[in-house]
Amino acid sequence: MRLDVFTLIPGAFAWLQERRPVAAVLGTELDLRIFNYRDTTPLSAGQVDDDPYGGGPGMVLRVDVVAAAFDAVYKGVPEHRVVALSPKGRQLDQELVEGLAVEPVLTLLSARFEGFDQRILDHLCTDVVSIGPYVLSGGEIPALAVVDAVARRLPGALSEGSGEVESFSAALHGGLEYPHYTRPAEFRGWGVPEILLSGDHGRIATWRSEHVRSVT
């Protein structure tokens, strides 16, 4: 898939591209492009935001700035899915992640300050998505969360099988994954459930299915 991110802080996306799962799919399953609104703004001195009409604190990302960025990259408003990251959006969950991961092309928009001019959300986007009911200072962390969550759904992103059985997956009926343990088998008197050391894969599978918790 091609994933385009529009941001004011392109450097925020550097480390993600050096690490799995994103690094594993970059250049094959994933074409990740990072665009800075300042590079295409029609305003002078790299201006991208302005005072809110009606007054009040903070600055608002301008609609003409986002439209100009789209003109430069897509020669107009894209026909594919465009997700604006905002605390006012639909909350991101695994179902939405999986829906986004099958899109051939996806655009993510982040803002800073007070957020987007409403006309960006109304006319230039298809979706508004929140990563949770709290306010962050910018859309970069939410965009990183979406890029990571989407990238790990792409073929070859994870080691064989590891994306199949995990929290929220169909294999666990949408539940939370059973507990994991590794060496040492005993540490400070803290043991490991005997059954996991038994080598009896049938009983281990039963134990694991009994320890999947439902999402409350």
Residues that bind ligand SAH (CB under 6 A): 85-88, 110-112, 114-116, 130-132, 134-136, 138-139, 142
Beta bridge partners of 2: 31, 105
Shortest distance (Å) from residue 128 CB to ligand SAH: 9
The nearest distance, CB 131 to ligand SAH, in angstroms, is 4
Contacts of 134 (CB under 8 A, 6+ apart): 87
Considering the complex, state which of residue 145 and residue 192 has its C-beta at the smaller distance from ligand SAH: 145
Nearer to ligand SAH, 88 or 203 (CB): 88
Is 59 in contact with 51 (CB distance < 8 Å)?
yes
Q: What is the 3-state secondary structure (H, E, C) of 124-151?
A: CCCEEEECCCCCCCECHHHHHHHHHHHH
Evaluate whether 10 touches 37 at the Cβ level (below 8 Å): no
Q: E strands, the chain, where?
A: 2-7, 31-36, 49-50, 60-61, 81-91, 105-109, 115-116, 127-130
Phi/psi-derived region of residue 46, left when phi > 0, alpha when psi is between -120 and 50, beta in every other case:
left
Point out the residue whose Cβ comes nearest to ligand SAH. 139
Nearest distance from residue 45's CB to ligand SAH, in Å?
Answer: 22
Give min distance, CB of 118 to ligand SAH, in A.
Answer: 11
When the beta carbons of 44 and 137 are compared against ligand SAH, the nearer one is 137
Of 6 and 178, CB closest to ligand SAH: 6
Q: How far apart (Å, rounded) are the C-alpha atoms in residues 106 and 89?
A: 17
Residue 158 DSSP symbol:
S
Rank residues 150 and 196 by Cβ distance to ligand SAH and give the closer one.
150
> Cβ of residue 5: shortest distance to ligand SAH, in angstroms?
12
| Residue with Cβ nearer ligand SAH (21 or 142) | 142
